[in-house]
Structures are given as C-alpha cells and as structure tokens.
Amino acid sequence: MSSKMKFFAKSAARCSPRLGVLKDIKGQDNLRIETPLAMLYTRGGSIPHITHEVYQICCKDPQVIQIPVVSTYQFHDVMDEYQGSISEFVGMKSCISCVTVQDPGDLTQPGHHYKDYIPLWTRSGKILLNSEKYMDIIETFKPDMYYLLSDGDTNIASAQKRVTKAVDNTINFVNKCLERHRKSDILQNAFVMAPIAGGYCLKSRKRCLDQIKNNELIDGFLLDGLHNNGPEVEFLTYNEIKDVIDLIAVTLD
C-alpha cells in the first residue's frame, strides 16, 4: 500500500514565496511539490482549450488537477464499474487529483437549501447531495486529495441567519464524511481537506473551526463561503477578506 500524502512547512524565517511542501505523493518518494500552488482547472475532467497532447508538451512535471464534482457527477456510475482512479479515467494518470464540490469558474446558484443536503447544479439539472452520496462519489473517484462536503452558500452580503445555518450544516457534513472516511479502506491514503464555513462573521468562523480542527483525519483546511464562485470573484479585494484570513491563521497556529 502506498504512503499517504503529507504536508510540511519550512521555516518561516526563510525568505521564499513558497514555504510549504507536499511529499509522499502516490508513492513517488522523490517528488516534492511546493506550495502555495495553482491547481489546473478542469471541466468534465478536461482542461479547457488544451488538448491532451499539448498538455503533455507543456507540462513535464506532475501537476495537481482540480476535479469538480458538479461537472463530473455523471461519471459516477461508469467509475463504479471502471474501478480505477479519476485521474486515470480522464487520461491524466501522472497528475495528482483534487476533488472539489463546486466549479470555481461558474456561479454557484444561491438558495434551494434542504436539511442535510446541498443543491448541485449539474448539466442534467439540480441534484440534491448529502454526505452519504458525496462519499459514494469520492470512493468511486479514488482521488489523491478531496474536500469534505460543505455548505458554502455565503458571501459578503449574507444574512446572519444564513451564515449560522451554513456553519451548522458544514459541521454536520464534516462529521458524517469523516466517519465514512474512517471506515473506508479505499480512502485511507487520501489527503483530506476540511471546509471552514462562516461567511464574513468572525465568531461563526471560529465556531466552525473549533468544532472540527482537532480531528486527526484532517490533513488541511479550505476557507469556504467567501463568495459564490464565477467571474465576479476577481473583484473581491484582499482587504475584504483579511480579517477572516487573520482569524483562521491565529486559530490554527
């Protein structure tokens, strides 16, 4: 069995733009990927506007590819029979796969909330996704890394009632997903990233983080719920999110 991917932080005293390192990737002992890094965006398992041949010419080193469930949901039944990993299925076996819930390139439609479910707007229409169904997909995809299910439907204009509900839902999703992960032989080597919900309310962010941060199955964290994805994200300024980032950094220190 291959070893589990690990994240290490170099000394902060070093003057370097990248102080993090991902190691022990897919059993490749000599492979080191420095972070922060940008994942390769995919839609339906393909990099937009780049053929597989061009990608192989441009990228000689292994890359981290983002696989949004919202654009690959229809792969689930086929992958169940395929038995291989999602990176193999999309023809990018050498890449490190990271499965996310939403597509950052498309606006995530707000609203449509249901207890214990999030709405997923796929090509075939709205799908209601709960923790059990989501983990079914994760197990069939067999990713190297994945985000736990979360309620990220908040932004800078969200009401406190919506923010509170997002935190409650996310804590519930995380606990159920981690319990499923714990029992899964398939996912024992997967790198798990837990979402931190709470919008722009610092008290809500801290409540979410305090509830999940001590679970030993969590390898990293996702700062979720700052926006609803899509092209408008480019107008989000650092000053708007600085207080949230500072709080998370201090709480995790």
Terminal Cα-to-Cα distance of the chain (whole angstroms): 32
Q: What is the pLDDT of residue 243?
A: 97
* Residue 133 CA: distances (Å) to CA of 13, 17, 50, 204: 44, 39, 31, 27
Domain spanning 38-252: CATH superfamily: Queuine tRNA-ribosyltransferase-like (3.20.20.105)
Query: Among candidates 125, 58, 129, which has minimal Cα distance to 99?
Result: 129
pTM: 0.90
Least confident segment among 15-19, 31-35, 36-40, 199-203: 15-19
Q: Where are the domains of the chain?
A: 38-252
Percent of the chain exceeding pLDDT 70 equals 94
3-state SS assignment for residue 239? helix
139 with 94: CB under 8 angstroms? no
Give dist(CA 104, CA 147) in Å, integer.
13
CA-derived radius of gyration, the chain: 18
27 with 3: CB under 8 angstroms? yes
Residue in the block written with tokens 């650092």? 238
* Helix, strand, coil in percent for the chain, rounding step 5: 35, 20, 45
Q: What is the pLDDT of residues 75-111, one digit of tens each?
A: 999 998 998 999 999 988 888 999 999 999 999 999 9
176 with 116: CB under 8 angstroms? no
Confidence tier at 62 by pLDDT (50, 70, 90): confident
